[in-house]
Amino acid sequence: MERNNAWKAYDEAALQAVENAARGYRAFLDQGKTERECADAAVKAAQAAGYIHLEEAIAAGRAIQPGDKLYQAQMGKAVMLFHVGRQPLEKGMNIVGAHIDSPRIDIKQNPFYEDTDIAYADTHYYGGIKKYQWVARALALHGVVAKKDGTLVRIVIGEDESDPVVGISDLLIHLSQEQMVKKASDVITGEGLDIMLAGRPLAGEEKEPVKAMLLQILKEKYGLEEEDMLSAEIEAVPAGTSRDYGLDRSMILGYGHDDRVCAYAEIQAMLQLPAVPEYTCCCLLADKEEIGSVGATGMQARYFENAVAELLALTTGKESDLALRRALANSRMLSCDVSAGYDPLFASAFEKKNAAYLGRGVCYNKFTGSRGKSGSNDANAEFIGRLRKVMDDHGIAWQTAELGRVDLGGGGTIAYICALYGMEVIDSGVPVLSMHAPQEIISKADLYEAIRAYTAFMTDMTK
């Protein structure tokens, strides 16, 4: 049951559509290197398309009608878009859900110190990374600092051509005999991921003059004191923009494909829906998936459930916990997260018949988890059968896969969390090479097919 390469079926119009999708996605990826930046981009796109804030509708006591479009944000790090359909909400929604956080290096709350005429920041890595991949490369700083007076200072350093970049040094090869015999997991330790920030002493300072220079720069440029870092969220991410990859420009190299490629595809699909869809459609962009979907902005929080409850009250004029349970249980969902693309250079990590391949379209994973399907959702066959029909009816390139060879490892998504409501859920995403590396690789064709797949799912998927 080998799937065809999507590129083979494209005519000139389709090839142009693929390039247009890639161009828009690259702009989104370059502007959204943190979960906050992605959430901001999603909200701006929604507002431009006529979405109104759910809280505004609640405050106005507005009666919501089919065709209305609403959005809700959670602490600036998670976003939900709703496009109200003809069918009552109790009959369920068609939901596409992705996460917008990516592996990175976070600056600690008390970070700055000086050692031997160099000023550093202590860090704590976020998500599953190969730590050695993050050294000896240009990093940029993105984030926010919340001051005591309520001011929120946004920081982006290292993306403009005129900006300096920062980074983590590595040991020179000439002195690396001991380092080179260590396990890859031990070559660089978590505490060894400190970021170099400055190397020039401030004139007249006797104690930690380089750190004093760093603090002076932060004071002059951003009005920040050292203590303001106690309420800061600063992330170190790879500096620079995404690039066309391959001499044929068929792929994209960039930071954060996992899982912003699916997030972008979802947003685009929402913007392409008919004026009044049959069922209410929802785009769900969650935070914290890379660390277990925890916290107030992770999928394990109740903000999605709360938003649906508010939407029910606005559409029906009454509050009902039973109606909420019905709406969630009757829903259908694509948990849109990337899958491991088959890499011929590491063929032993995959089972070839059940792997995802770049260029063969959007991928569906019946289950994720690890080893004995631990932590997986394992979608039911009936749901997959209906999904197959929708994909084939729309001529969408799609494939199925599992995440690597049995017993080798595994991974998870938000699917199992949403399945707790009793809704039908399957994992769906774009194959990625070098997943969780500072630079990942996708096929433009798979991005394009994901947008088409998510659009078709929301418009045509039924119970």
Q: How is 60-83 classified by DSSP, letter by letter?
A: HTPPP-TT-EEEEEETTTEEEEEE
Asked if 328 contacts 421 with a C-beta cutoff of 8 angstroms, the reply is: yes
pLDDT for position 185: 93
Among 298, 321, 289, which residue's Cα sits nearest to residue 412? Answer: 289
Q: For a pLDDT cut of 70, what percent of the chain falls above it? A: 100
**pLDDT of 131 higher than 90:** yes
Residue ranges of the chain assigned to CATH 2.30.250.10 = 104-238
Query: Based on C-alpha coordinates, what's the Rg of the chain?
Result: 23
Residue 366 parent element (H or E): none
Q: Please state the length of the chain.
A: 463
- Rounded Cα gap, residues 143 and 106, in angstroms: 10
CA distances, 109 to each of 71, 106, 235, 293 (Å): 32, 9, 12, 22
Note the pLDDT tens digit of each residue in 415-454: 999 999 999 999 999 999 999 999 999 999 999 999 999 9
- Rounded Cα gap, residues 34 and 421, in angstroms: 29
104-238 CATH pick, 3.40.630.10, 2.30.250.10, 3.40.50.720, 3.30.930.10 = 2.30.250.10
Q: Which residue has the tokens 């080998």?
A: 2
DSSP bridge pairs for 81:
71, 283
Note the pLDDT tens digit of each residue in 277-314: 999 999 999 999 999 999 999 999 999 999 999 999 99
6-102+255-460 CATH pick, 3.40.50.880, 3.40.630.10, 3.20.20.70, 3.10.129.10 = 3.40.630.10
Note the pLDDT tens digit of each residue in 187-205: 999 999 999 999 999 998 7
* Average pLDDT score over the chain: 95
pLDDT for position 290: 95
CA distances, 396 to each of 135, 393, 428 (Å): 40, 8, 13
- Rounded Cα gap, residues 339 and 400, in angstroms: 10
Note the pLDDT tens digit of each residue in 69-112: 999 999 999 999 999 999 999 999 999 999 999 999 999 999 99
Residue ranges of the chain assigned to CATH 3.40.630.10 = 6-102+255-460
